[in-house]
Amino acid sequence: MHYTLHITDRCNLRCKYCFENKKDNDLSFENIKSILDNAVKDESRRANITFYGGEPLLRKDIIYETVEYCKKLEEGNDFLFTYQINTNGILLDDEFIEFAKDNMFHICYSIDGTKECHDLNRVYRDGQVSFDLVNENAVNLLSKYPYVTAMMVTTVNNIQHFYDSVKYLFDVGFKYIFCGIDYTSNWDDESIEKLRKEYEKVGRLYIEKTLNEDSFYLSPIEHKIDTHISKDKICELNCQLGLKHIDIGTDGNIYPCIQFVGMQKFIMGNCKTGIVKEKQLELMKKSAKEHEICKECELKNRCKHTCGCMNLMTNKDPNKLSPITCEIERIIIETSDKIASTLYKKRANMFIQKKYNKIFPIVEIIERSKRNGIKSGEKV
């Protein structure tokens, strides 16, 4: 199970596309302990904990305390906790980087790309821009700890910077990039066409880097290629509301995913009582229902049309599909298919290994560990 702990609603930025509520609420440690005590009962014997906000680094004390408590639970329960944090980087210092390394955190770092792109939306409460500090802290982080995903957001007002921003993030040193879309923005035919052209340029960059045998991961292109190659990789399996992933709000209530936090009608339980199974099954059943408009679509198994969070953002209904979703998903799938076709025809070694060799991820970790001077037996 994946647990996302919304440890605070507070944030030191006021990003223009952010959907989070900015109240002064924090998740109590007592509620966190209750969730973790239930987590160790999971038959899988493992759980992933994501620290989320607001800005979670405003509550470093809670993060340290939670990890310490997880270690105690691991000792007596033959259990493994893994950790992730989503941060805007403003408060990221060397002390926390060392803590993240020691506890093998996966760090998701919010940065939209170039200065021109980033500063359009990621600003402080008073409107001042944030790129210089965020970029400086990113460079410092990457020099000490390579296991970082750049989390960028593309919206209508920054489409023109999409390709330049992806390239910039690779050039800075990020190996993993997640290209998110602000589906709530005012997309129209003109902006959709701009996105298509930018994705075409990103596709050419992907081919170039692969032919150069660079090591990188670019989402969502990677998964779309996987669904092109294998029928077993179906997008809808990633979204089963409340089954593999739950969010715990600062109110101590349990929700099926990030976008649902704070919405009374989607509460699935709370930290003290745990998940209400009937509510969980009800949400799962609704989210798995196929949209009528999608039934005859040849791309339905490769598309995020069943993503409750995305549907909620675009239509305020987790079970209602937006035409914008279709248009953007088609752009990404078409770009990914062109990439895959080109690289397969060229028999590009990195592409073949990455997409057809099942042990490639293990080999990649070993090679990266060597490049970063990590000795055998140390944490990677």
**Tens digit of pLDDT for each residue in 115-129?**
999 999 999 999 999
In this prediction, residues 99-115 reach a mean pLDDT of 97
Q: What percent of the chain has pLDDT over 70?
A: 87
Measure the CA–CA gap between 78 and 45, rounded to whole angstroms: 7
Q: Is residue 379 part of a domain?
A: no
Q: Maximum CA pair distance of the chain? A: 58
Q: Is residue 21 part of a domain?
A: yes
> With 90 as the cut, is the pLDDT of residue 241 above it?
no
> Residue 238: its pLDDT value, please?
54
Q: Is 259 exposed, middle or buried (0-12, 13-18, 19+ CB in 10 A)?
A: buried
Q: Is residue 289 part of a domain?
A: yes
* Confidence at 275, pLDDT banded by 50, 70, 90: confident
> Residue 135: its pLDDT value, please?
98
Measure the CA–CA gap between 178 and 280, rounded to whole angstroms: 28
CA Rg value for the chain: 21
- How many helices and strands (H and E) does the chain possess? 13, 11
Q: Is residue 380 part of a domain?
A: no
Q: Is residue 260 part of a domain?
A: yes
Give the strands of the sheet with 217-219, arranged side by side.
Answer: 217-219, 176-181, 148-154, 106-110, 80-87, 46-52, 2-6, 245-248, 253-255, 269-270, 274-275
In this prediction, residues 265-279 reach a mean pLDDT of 89
Q: Is residue 377 part of a domain?
A: no
Q: Based on the structure, what is the number of domains in the chain? A: 1
Measure the CA–CA gap between 174 and 304, rounded to whole angstroms: 26
Least confidently predicted of 3-7, 243-247, 296-300: 296-300
Q: Is residue 154 part of a domain?
A: yes
User: In the predicted model, what is the mean pLDDT of the chain?
Assistant: 88
Q: Is residue 378 part of a domain?
A: no
138 lies in which domain range? 2-371
> With 50 as the cut, is the pLDDT of residue 375 above it?
no
CATH (domain of 281): 3.20.20.70
Measure the CA–CA gap between 117 and 129, rounded to whole angstroms: 11
**Tens digit of pLDDT for each residue in 319-366?**
777 888 889 999 999 999 999 999 999 999 999 999 988 776 655 655
> Residue 276: its pLDDT value, please?
86
Measure the CA–CA gap between 171 and 324, rounded to whole angstroms: 31
**Tens digit of pLDDT for each residue in 4-57?**
999 999 999 999 999 766 688 999 999 999 999 999 988 889 999 999 999 999
The DSSP code for 230 is -
